[in-house]
């Protein structure tokens, strides 16, 4: 076979091998395939008391679902400027935690109710470059560490010792940031996150633009390289699973709010506030289960 012909044949074979490999790679599932979450029902979300966040609380006497909204903020807190409450969470032993923010200043606050019913406030002084808002709290399954996030386009989550649970915390001392979750992909306007395992979070994003993942209002999955701790940073791999349900009798801009995963039933719940006048009539807490 002439040298030129042999070279041409090798070139064609190499191209076929390259094309076959590319086809196999494009059709192969990712190494860590994302879960599929399917809507199974919904409940009306009251705009005053169920419009910001929710969590399932495990207590000795049973279980309770708790919600936050502008109508759940105690007068004593709002009179001191704590006029916004975010998406709450609870530790497995029943400590219930609400995140609060002011319109200005250099602090944010976590209000904690112990299983015995008493309340305490844990104030955090902002670190360099930290945003003022305090949209959500997510307690790790081990209970000792709590994640929180900032509004806007961010590439990190903040790790704190869980107030009221971690023995290093005290209402009379600053609640320090302990470490950071470094995300491999930017996220925008995250309104709530909850742990589904020691190293996996599900988060609701109110992203109105859709430029980060190709969809607006995405349900995000964040897989951590290790359990959060107070001594070293961990990384987080971000995946957009689907768009959150957006249904209303009114047209306009929806607002994705808090999220909760109930480990006892495997049910994911997320609040979506309807646009315009329909905020009063058909805002929903959607229920989803893993497919």
Note whether 36 and 280 are within 8 A (CB).
Answer: no
Q: Residue 131 forms beta bridges with which residues?
A: none
Residue given tokens 């935690």 in the structure block: 97
pTM value is: 0.87
Distance of CA 42 to the CA centre of its chain: 20
Write phi, then psi, for 237 (nearest 5 degrees).
Answer: -95, 120
What tokens appear for 291 in the block? 């497919």
Residue given tokens 């996220």 in the structure block: 187
In this structure, is the dihedral angle defined by the CA atoms of residues 45, 279, 153 and 77, taken in order, positive or negative?
negative
Architecture (CATH level 2) of domain 33-290: 6 Propeller (2.120)
- The alpha-carbon radius of gyration of the chain (Å, integer) is 22
Contacts of residue 256, defined as CB under 8 A and 6 or more positions apart, other chains included, come to 191, 204, 205, 206, 217, 244, 270, 271, 272, 273
Tens place of pLDDT per residue across the chain (291 aa): 443 333 333 333 333 333 333 333 333 333 344 679 999 999 999 999 999 999 998 765 566 899 999 999 999 999 999 999 999 999 999 999 999 999 999 999 999 999 999 999 999 999 999 999 999 999 999 999 999 999 999 999 999 999 999 999 999 999 999 999 999 999 999 999 999 999 999 999 999 999 999 999 999 999 999 999 989 999 999 999 999 999 999 999 999 999 999 998 999 999 999 999 999 999 999 999 998
DSSP 278: G
- Domain parsing of the chain, residue ranges: 33-290
Note whether 91 and 59 are within 8 A (CB).
Answer: no
Q: What does the CA dihedral 74, 62, 147, 224 come to, rounded to 10 degrees?
A: -160
Residue given tokens 């600053």 in the structure block: 174
Cα–Cα distance between 287 and 291 in angstroms, integer? 13
Distance of CA 233 to the CA centre of its chain: 18
Neighbour count for residue 61 (Cβ, 10 Å)? 7
The DSSP annotation for 105-120 comes to SSEEEEEEE-TTS-EE
Note whether 193 and 177 are within 8 A (CB).
Answer: no
Residue 31 region, left (φ>0) first, then alpha (ψ -120 to 50), else beta? alpha
């Amino acid at each position: 076979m002439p040298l030129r012909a042999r070279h041409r044949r090798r070139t064609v074979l190499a191209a076929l091998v390259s094309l076959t490999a590319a086809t196999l790679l494009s059709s192969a599932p990712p190494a860590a395939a994302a879960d599929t979450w399917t809507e199974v029902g919904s409940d009306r979300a009251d705009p005053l008391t169920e419009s910001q966040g929710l969590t399932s609380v495990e207590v000795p006497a049973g279980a309770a679902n708790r919600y936050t909204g502008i109508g759940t903020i105690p007068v004593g807190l709002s009179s001191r400027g704590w006029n916004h409450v975010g998406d709450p969470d609870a530790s497995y032993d029943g400590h219930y935690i609400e995140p609060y923010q002011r319109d200005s200043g250099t602090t944010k606050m976590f209000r904690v109710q112990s299983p015995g019913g008493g309340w305490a406030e844990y104030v955090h002084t902002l670190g360099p470059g930290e945003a003022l808002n305090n949209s959500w709290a997510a307690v790790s399954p081990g209970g000792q560490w709590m994640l929180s996030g900032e509004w806007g386009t961010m590439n990190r989550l903040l790790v704190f010792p869980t107030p009221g649970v971690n023995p290093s915390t005290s209402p009379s001392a600053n609640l320090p940031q302990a470490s950071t979750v470094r995300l491999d992909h930017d996220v925008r306007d995250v309104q709530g996150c909850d742990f589904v395992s020691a190293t996996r979070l599900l988060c609701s994003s109110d992203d109105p633009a859709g430029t980060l993942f190709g969809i607006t209002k995405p349900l995000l999955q964040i897989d951590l390289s290790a359990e959060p701790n107070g001594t070293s940073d961990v990384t987080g791999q971000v995946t957009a699973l689907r768009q959150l349900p957006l249904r209303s009798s009114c047209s306009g801009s929806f607002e994705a709010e808090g999220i909760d995963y109930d480990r006892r039933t495997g049910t994911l719940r997320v609040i979506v506030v309807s646009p315009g006048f329909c905020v009063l009539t058909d805002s929903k807490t959607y229920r989803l289960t893993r497919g």
